[in-house]
Structure 1
Amino acid sequence: MKKAMNTLPWRALPVLLCAVFSATAGAAAFQNWEQDAAGIGVAHAGSAAIADSAAGLYYNPAGLTRLDGVQFSAGFTGLRPVVEFNDRGSSGPGLGAGDGGDAGRWLAAPNASASWHLGSDLALGIGVTRPFALDLDYDADWLGRVQAQRSEIRTVNINPAIAYRVSDRVALGFGVNYQTIDLDFSRAGQRLKGDDGSWGWNAGVLFTLSPAMRVGLSYRSAIEHKLDARVDGSAARATVKLPETAILSVWQQVSDRWEAMGDLSYTRWNTLKHVDFIERGSGVLLASEPFSSGNSWRLAWGAAYRVSDAFKFKFGLAWERSPIGNNGRTARLPDSNSLRLSFGGQWLLGALGRLDAGYSYLLMRDARIAQIRDANLLRGKYENGMHIVGVQYSLGF
Structure 2
Amino acid sequence: MSRWTRPAARALYTRSADPEPRAAGNDAVVCILAPADMGGGGGGMGLSGKRMPVAAAIAAVVLPAVAQGSGFHLMTQNASGLGNAYAGHTAAAEDASTIYYNPAGLTRLPGRQASAALHAIRPSREFATGGASAAPAGLASPGGNGGDSGDLAAVPNAYFSWQFDPRWWMGVGISVPFGLKTEYEPGWFGRFQSRRSEVKTVDINPSVAVKLTEAVSLGFGVSYQKAEVRIERSVLLLLVPPAESFARIKADDGRFGWNAEAMFDLSPATRIGVSYRSSMEHTLTGTIAFSSVPGVGTAVNTVSAKLEFPDAFSWGIAHQLSPRWELLGDVTYTRWSRIKAVPLVTTSASAVAGAGAVLDTFNFQFKDSYRVGVGANWKWRDDFTVKLGVAYDRTPVVDAFRTVTLPDADRTLVAIGGKYRVSKQATLDFGYLHMFMKDVPINQSRGLGAVAGAQGNVIGRYEADVNIVSAQFTYRF
What's the TM-score, normalizing by structure 1? 0.91
1:368 matched to 2:441? The reply is yes
Work out the CA distance in 2 between the residues paired with 1:185 and 1:96.
21
CA deviation map 1:307-329 (0-9, x unaligned): 10011111110001111121111
Partner of residue 45, structure 1: 87
Work out the CA distance in 1 between the residues paired with 2:190 and 2:201.
26
Q: Counterpart amino acid of 2:174?
A: V
1:128 matched to 2:174? The reply is yes
Does the aligned pair in 1 maintain the 2:87–2:389 contact within 8 Å?
Answer: yes
Work out the CA distance in 1 between the residues paired with 2:431 and 2:474.
15
Does the aligned pair in 1 maintain the 2:131–2:145 contact within 8 Å?
Answer: no
Partner of residue 103, structure 2: 61
Partner of residue 253, structure 1: 320
Q: Which runs of 5+ in 2 are unaligned?
A: 1-68, 236-246, 290-299, 349-354, 448-452
Partner of residue 380, structure 1: 460
Work out the CA distance in 2 between the residues paired with 1:291 and 1:138.
21
Work out the CA distance in 2 between the residues paired with 1:222 and 1:302.
28
1:31 to 73, 80, 85: 73
| TM-fit CA distance, 1:388 | 0.6
Q: Which runs of 5+ in 1 are unaligned?
A: 1-26
Work out the CA distance in 1 between the residues paired with 2:140 and 2:314.
44
SS at match of 2:105: helix
| TM-fit CA distance, 1:187 | 1.3
CA deviation map 1:192-244 (0-9, x unaligned): 22001110001100001112111000010001111112121211111111111
Does the aligned pair in 2 maintain the 1:231–1:286 contact within 8 Å?
Answer: no
SS at match of 1:156: strand
Aligned length: 371
Partner of residue 114, structure 1: 160
SS at match of 1:186: strand
1:90 matched to 2:132? The reply is yes
Q: Counterpart amino acid of 2:157?
A: N
Partner of residue 8, structure 1: none
SS at match of 2:193: coil
Partner of residue 339, structure 1: 412
Does the aligned pair in 2 maintain the 1:231–1:277 contact within 8 Å?
Answer: no
More helix by share: 1
Work out the CA distance in 1 between the residues paired with 2:415 and 2:158.
22
Cα RMSD, aligned residues only = 1.2
1:203 matched to 2:260? The reply is yes
Partner of residue 170, structure 1: 216
| TM-fit CA distance, 1:87 | 3.1
SS at match of 1:54: coil
SS at match of 1:318: strand
Work out the CA distance in 1 between the residues paired with 2:425 and 2:260.
31
| TM-fit CA distance, 1:94 | 4.5
Partner of residue 151, structure 2: 105
Does the aligned pair in 1 maintain the 2:315–2:332 contact within 8 Å?
Answer: yes
Q: Counterpart amino acid of 2:257?
A: G
Work out the CA distance in 1 between the residues paired with 2:140 and 2:90.
48
CA deviation map 1:265-321 (0-9, x unaligned): 011112222322211152111233342321110001000101100111111100011
Does the aligned pair in 2 maintain the 1:49–1:214 contact within 8 Å?
Answer: yes
Partner of residue 391, structure 1: 471
Q: Counterpart amino acid of 1:215?
A: I
Work out the CA distance in 1 between the residues paired with 2:317 and 2:413.
19
Partner of residue 263, structure 1: 330
> Which segment drifts farther, 340-349 or 91-100?
91-100
1:183 to 206, 229, 237: 229
Percent identity for Structure 1 against Structure 2? 39
Partner of residue 309, structure 1: 382
| TM-fit CA distance, 1:352 | 4.4
| TM-fit CA distance, 1:89 | 4.7
| TM-fit CA distance, 1:139 | 0.8
Partner of residue 318, structure 1: 391
Does the aligned pair in 2 maintain the 1:259–1:305 contact within 8 Å?
Answer: yes
1:274 to 316, 327, 341: 341
Does the aligned pair in 1 maintain the 2:285–2:305 contact within 8 Å?
Answer: yes
| TM-fit CA distance, 1:179 | 0.2
Work out the CA distance in 2 between the residues paired with 1:291 and 1:36.
29
What's the TM-score, normalizing by structure 2? 0.76
Q: Which has the larger radius of gyration?
A: 2
Does the aligned pair in 2 maintain the 1:229–1:277 contact within 8 Å?
Answer: no
SS at match of 2:90: coil
Q: Counterpart amino acid of 2:308?
A: K
CA deviation map 1:354-391 (0-9, x unaligned): 00000000001101000111201110000010001100
Runs of 4+ aligned residues of structure 1 deviating over 6 Å after TM superposition are none
Partner of residue 224, structure 1: 281
Work out the CA distance in 2 between the residues paired with 1:107 and 1:115.
27
Partner of residue 3, structure 1: none
Work out the CA distance in 1 between the residues paired with 2:436 and 2:364.
22
> Which segment drifts farther, 27-36 or 252-261?
27-36
CA deviation map 1:144-190 (0-9, x unaligned): 11111101000000000011111111100000000000001111122
